[in-house]
Structure 1
């Protein structure tokens, strides 16, 4: 039985990949909408919701005031999900990020399978995108823009290589610049940086740098600018403050650079950066062990695709390496490039590095045992009242993880595939057990209920957020309140510094100055007032 399973896993890596994709749907989608919006999610949700409420999809706003930080492409997509489903739930808010996550993995698989003609490397590198630590328990449950944006950017990388191989210069430039226009309309200036650095390095390496001055490149660049310009022209019809919009977009990109920080902080970041990101993508980073073979660099040089992705990685990574405020989600389009290199090293050198392979197998077996042994500890976390069928779920998870641990021990060639299965079980445990625990112990749950209650009390009457001046770290919290209030009443909340107008006001850590203000209700550090 074990041998038949081994034969299947070795013989059909493509089928195994898609089987793992199907099996991963439940772990990633169960309880996806359970937690209140947090981090940058409410900002994206607010812009999309206010587009619908104002019936104006040209001008992003929050609290009926212009929002300049990001162009609106992702918000258009999110608004489309809201309109198609007729709901503004957390689950729907996260779908435009989660669906591209699976499309991203599938894109990695097909690209690597096509260019390297090795479905083992394609399958492993693609599935590692789903089960690296950062994606497994954080980014995959957030409605952030970065997965969608990174997927488009990665596709641009792959298309550049495809057309480079065929010497189809017009298609190389034109399609990559169309994607650049789209990604710019999603996130702004980083798209120009990715496109520029990638083209310069690749054309220089391939001895085609003069193509930067070709009509194909110039026409494609102009097309990109025309698409971006058409958006800003339309925007100008509603808000002539283009200077404020563009300066904010510039500030959003430039403020994270090393020039904004002291030498010591920047130096510490430069030193710790690679180790930090090795930790973020653990346990995928365990494959680094196989990159220490003496032929690793030579093997990359022998395969044009591996050379290409190495150059793309090196061309772009330094921007983030030198930026102290870089967040892991900004590198999602670059992570798959190293996953491909690591997967290549694993399948190319594991037999030659027999001792390293033995150590690797022992590490994943130890991790599997640790996961299996840890699962029954969930009985001690008072989950009975918040997790339905708790005992059945824990027993199921324990049996499944134990069975997979046994497979990791017994399989010879496919231990890593079984280990990936264990990581999916770990994510299922996270979705079933950890997310309800967080919901029950998070202050976000209280504030969501408070915001919904305020929206219900006020209804369609005028509603204002008084003296809205949060620090940058407080913006997600305030945006979350605004989203749930607006979602409840389906009318905009407006920022104000004037408390003389009739209506309802909510405040954060302050009172109204108007002596006629009536306190309706307090919610910890929030207060709801009425002025008649």
Structure 2
């Protein structure tokens, strides 16, 4: 049974609504404030080459991701939604690439399943697709560069790798070159490793990367070495953790399980391999269809050679493998293609069970916890119920198990996102300190003193992002003999204390020197 394109359009609209709902509600957290501060200071100083944090040089990450956030700040305003927008768009971009890459190989329905399987995964829709961090944009560039290898567009892949290198540093290289070498060796074409296109691609990568370093250093060899050293240290610190064999073995076992969980709900399709009939049909599809065979082995090779790096290293995190969730989605497409012809599991029955469960949970929340009605969570609850009932109708009207599987995976991903937003994220919003409000009060006090120069010795970056935004100026390191306003955790650093603010981490003093 063919998937109705009108239904696909409705699913995309619901997906976009879920992704953008309350995108800017939560305060910046984790590494988000740092990325936002760098972007904000780029706009203040008009220096888009050398990242700074509170006026101090920051060399641990190259600037490309921050440049895009800075552009969005100029277009859409300085706020959380603008900072996170590049991650949401990158998530959409990866899903679109998945669809376009395999549509002609596995068909429209399977390509839609693969794309939405990635787009609704826990790691994308709940985690890094919603954060103003480098991971999702980096993954878009890396995943695109890996697809270029499959489609033999090596120079374009090299250019995308160079951009990924300017986003998150040296991990971009292992994703591209390990995939390239593994694929050529599998195809018994090792000589291609030394072809003109591969060498030319390497020159493109080196030229763009070292060109940025030369612009950054401005001819100062010390600054050049310092920036290069920080980038090497940031990447090398991940492999310095192999000290105890036991910890490494423990991580090697747990890491694949964690990867599977982060891929839910779509990763559940890997359980189909427990069915012997499905395994037989899958093997037959791989051996009888050369295009599917090529896609499958490329996906497996590119996944294994890169996944093992982070599976072996005890400090390897699932977020470091985010590009591989795109690769995994290619395999989702193949599994769905095989499932269309061998519906080994009654997806309709289990899909309805899942949706009835979600309806029960959201209905209880709506009926018995009236506090939901007094908070913005009512939006998430209402949308969740609409999605639940809509997909129940679709599933009941559809006889195809494969389409019901698609509906179940998409609905589950959207409903998990809404449940997370309505409960845990709402809790975090009330739990976190209101840095927006505190920064606004601090900014009014500082601006009342008509400062030309504001200095700080650092502290909570959440606070300082909102403070720089409200002051509409860059903060600088404290300099002896420099007159201006000082924000510090050490009252001895100011001659006259104007005001103080007590925060969970420290008391911050505003004063003059």
Q: TM-score, normalised by structure 1?
A: 0.85
Equivalent position of 2:45 in the other structure: 54
Q: Is the 8 A contact 2:391 2:407 kept in 1?
A: yes
Equivalent position of 2:455 in the other structure: 464
Equivalent position of 2:188 in the other structure: 207
Relative to structure 1, is the Cα distance of residues 378 and 456 closer, same or farther in structure 2, using a 3 angstrom cutoff? farther
Equivalent position of 1:151 in the other structure: 140
Instruction: Tell me how far 1:64 sits from its aligned partner.
Output: 0.8
Structure 1: how far apart are the matches of 2:188 and 2:198?
Answer: 16
**Do residues 377 (structure 1) and 364 (structure 2) align?**
yes
Worse overlay, 289-298 or 230-239: 289-298
Equivalent position of 1:34 in the other structure: 25
Structure 2: how far apart are the matches of 1:373 and 1:286?
Answer: 22
Flag the structure with more relative contact order, 1 or 2, with Cα contacts below 8 A and sequence separation at least 6.
1
Could you say what the CA RMSD is over the residues aligned between the two structures, in angstroms? 2.7
**Do residues 518 (structure 1) and 497 (structure 2) align?**
yes
Relative to structure 1, is the Cα distance of residues 267 and 54 closer, same or farther in structure 2, using a 3 angstrom cutoff? same
Q: Is the 8 A contact 1:106 1:126 kept in 2?
A: yes
Relative to structure 1, is the Cα distance of residues 257 and 432 closer, same or farther in structure 2, using a 3 angstrom cutoff? closer
**Do residues 316 (structure 1) and 297 (structure 2) align?**
no
Instruction: Tell me how far 1:406 sits from its aligned partner.
Output: 5.1
Structure 1: how far apart are the matches of 2:184 and 2:208?
Answer: 24
Structure 2: how far apart are the matches of 1:99 and 1:353?
Answer: 34
Please list, as runs of the form range in 1=range in 2, the aligned pairs for 1:130-145 lying within 5 A after superposition. 130-145=119-134
Equivalent position of 1:273 in the other structure: 255
Does the residue aligned with 1:141 lie in a helix, a strand or coil?
coil
Does the residue aligned with 1:80 lie in a helix, a strand or coil?
helix
Structure 1: how far apart are the matches of 2:144 and 2:57?
Answer: 32
Instruction: Tell me how far 1:428 sits from its aligned partner.
Output: 6.9
Unaligned runs of 5+ in 2: none
Structure 1: how far apart are the matches of 2:271 and 2:116?
Answer: 19
Does the residue aligned with 1:384 lie in a helix, a strand or coil?
helix
**Do residues 216 (structure 1) and 197 (structure 2) align?**
yes
Deviations 1:112-133 (A, max 9, x none): 103x141121010000111112
Please list, as runs of the form range in 1=range in 2, the aligned pairs for 1:293-442 lying within 5 A after superposition. 293-295=278-280, 296-297=282-283, 299-300=285-286, 302=289, 303-349=293-339, 352=342, 354=344, 357-358=345-346, 361-379=348-366, 380=369, 382-387=371-376, 390=378, 394=381, 397-398=384-385, 400-405=387-392, 407-408=394-395, 411-413=398-400, 414-423=403-412, 425-426=414-415, 429-430=418-419, 433-434=422-423, 437-438=426-427, 440-442=429-431
Instruction: Tell me how far 1:151 sits from its aligned partner.
Output: 1.2
Relative to structure 1, is the Cα distance of residues 415 and 458 closer, same or farther in structure 2, using a 3 angstrom cutoff? same
Instruction: Tell me how far 1:178 sits from its aligned partner.
Output: 1.1
**Do residues 227 (structure 1) and 214 (structure 2) align?**
no
Unaligned runs of 5+ in 1: 1-9, 164-171, 471-477
Q: TM-score, normalised by structure 2?
A: 0.88
Deviations 1:479-498 (A, max 9, x none): 222211111111112233x6
Aligned residues: 495
Q: Is the 8 A contact 1:112 1:118 kept in 2?
A: yes
Instruction: Tell me how far 1:197 sits from its aligned partner.
Output: 0.5
Q: Is the 8 A contact 1:506 1:527 kept in 2?
A: yes
Q: Is the 8 A contact 2:117 2:410 kept in 1?
A: no
Please list, as runs of the form range in 1=range in 2, the aligned pairs for 1:97-116 lying within 5 A after superposition. 97-114=87-104, 116=105
Equivalent position of 1:80 in the other structure: 71
Instruction: Tell me how far 1:417 sits from its aligned partner.
Output: 3.0
Relative to structure 1, is the Cα distance of residues 489 and 125 closer, same or farther in structure 2, using a 3 angstrom cutoff? same
Instruction: Tell me how far 1:451 sits from its aligned partner.
Output: 2.3
Structure 2: how far apart are the matches of 1:231 and 1:260?
Answer: 32
Does the residue aligned with 2:323 lie in a helix, a strand or coil?
coil
Instruction: Tell me how far 1:338 sits from its aligned partner.
Output: 1.8
Deviations 1:312-337 (A, max 9, x none): 11221111111223333322221122
Equivalent position of 2:267 in the other structure: 285
Relative to structure 1, is the Cα distance of residues 109 and 280 closer, same or farther in structure 2, using a 3 angstrom cutoff? same
Instruction: Tell me how far 1:350 sits from its aligned partner.
Output: 6.4
Equivalent position of 1:448 in the other structure: 436
Structure 2: how far apart are the matches of 1:70 and 1:515?
Answer: 33
Equivalent position of 1:482 in the other structure: 464
Equivalent position of 1:128 in the other structure: 117
Q: Is the 8 A contact 2:154 2:198 kept in 1?
A: yes
Does the residue aligned with 1:282 lie in a helix, a strand or coil?
coil
Relative to structure 1, is the Cα distance of residues 402 and 12 closer, same or farther in structure 2, using a 3 angstrom cutoff? closer
Does the residue aligned with 1:35 lie in a helix, a strand or coil?
coil
Structure 1: how far apart are the matches of 2:247 and 2:92?
Answer: 36
Equivalent position of 1:43 in the other structure: 34
**Do residues 180 (structure 1) and 171 (structure 2) align?**
no
Structure 1: how far apart are the matches of 2:259 and 2:199?
Answer: 37
Structure 1: how far apart are the matches of 2:15 and 2:418?
Answer: 12
